[in-house]
Amino acid sequence: MPPTPNRQPAKPTGLECRMAVLGADVRLTPHRREVFEVLQASTDHPTATDLFTRVKDRSPGISLATVYNCLEHLTGAGLIKQVHLERGQSRYCANLHEHVHFHCETCGKVIDAHPAADFDPAKFWNLPAGTRVSRMELAIHGTCSACAAR
Ligand SMILES: [Zn+2]
Ligand SMILES: [Zn+2]
């Protein structure tokens, strides 16, 4: 195996595919790309500060303000989602599949939960006839299995 180059070759990444599928129009600066890649590799729904700490290892010159700016552009283009679960800092999620967030009130962990069956929010929730759902933000709070076993 040759050594991994610092800069990735221009091959389509998950981000390019995602942009094509969404028809997202956002300029992919190296920082935006890196913030996206670090978020996509994180399963813990990090905050901007968490991401800053992780991206800094790869891009020592990046600032927290730049990370916020990247997150704003990526969220605006629909490439990632901003998650509000508690008071305080927003978290971010790169999972665009239909899912809700389970928040453990004991350890603070946030887990993605995908629907077990085909789920149509317009049918599940008793919404007025003719309502069109464009977005759903549903959070479930409780105790995760690790905390419950303690
Ligand atoms: Zn998520
Ligand atoms: Zn927990």
The per-residue pLDDT of the chain, averaged, comes to: 87
Examine the pLDDT at 74 and tell me if it is beyond 50: yes
Give phi and psi for 67, each to the nearest 5. Answer: -60, -45
Give the strand pairing for 100-104 and 139-142. Answer: parallel
Ligand 1 mean position to 95 CA, how many Å? 5
Interval 66-90 mean pLDDT: 92
More confident residue, 125 or 54: 54
Give the pLDDT band (50/70/90) at residue 90: very high
Give the pLDDT band (50/70/90) at residue 8: very low
Examine the pLDDT at 18 and tell me if it is beyond 90: no
Ligand 2 mean position to 3 CA, how many Å? 39
- Ligand having the closest approach to the CA of 102: 1
Residue 54 pLDDT: 96
Q: Which domains does the chain have, with CATH numbers?
A: 14-93 (1.10.10.10), 100-149 (3.30.1490)
What is the C-alpha separation between 93 and 81, in angstroms, rounded? 5
The helices-and-strands tally (H runs, E runs) of the chain is: 6, 5
- Ligand having the closest approach to the CA of 81: 1
Cβ contacts of residue 2 below 8 Å, gap of 6+? none
Residue 3 pLDDT: 53
- Within 13 Å and on the Cβ side, how many CA atoms surround 108? 8
- The environment of the single-atom ion ligand 1, i.e. residues with CB closer than 5 A, is 93, 95, 112
Examine the pLDDT at 10 and tell me if it is beyond 60: no
Length of the chain: 150
DSSP string, 81-138: EEE--SSSS-EEE---SS-EEEEETTT--EEEE--SS---HHHHTTPPTT--------
Ligand 1 mean position to 93 CA, how many Å? 5
Percent of the chain with pLDDT over 70: 91
- Ligand having the closest approach to the CA of 97: 1
Examine the pLDDT at 46 and tell me if it is beyond 90: yes
**pTM across the whole model:** 0.80
Residue 12 pLDDT: 59
In terms of Cβ atoms closer than 10 Å to its own Cβ (0-12, 13-18, 19+), residue 148 is exposed
- Give tens-digit pLDDT for 100-119: 999 999 998 999 999 888 87
Element housing 51 (H / E)? helix 48-58
Examine the pLDDT at 70 and tell me if it is beyond 90: yes
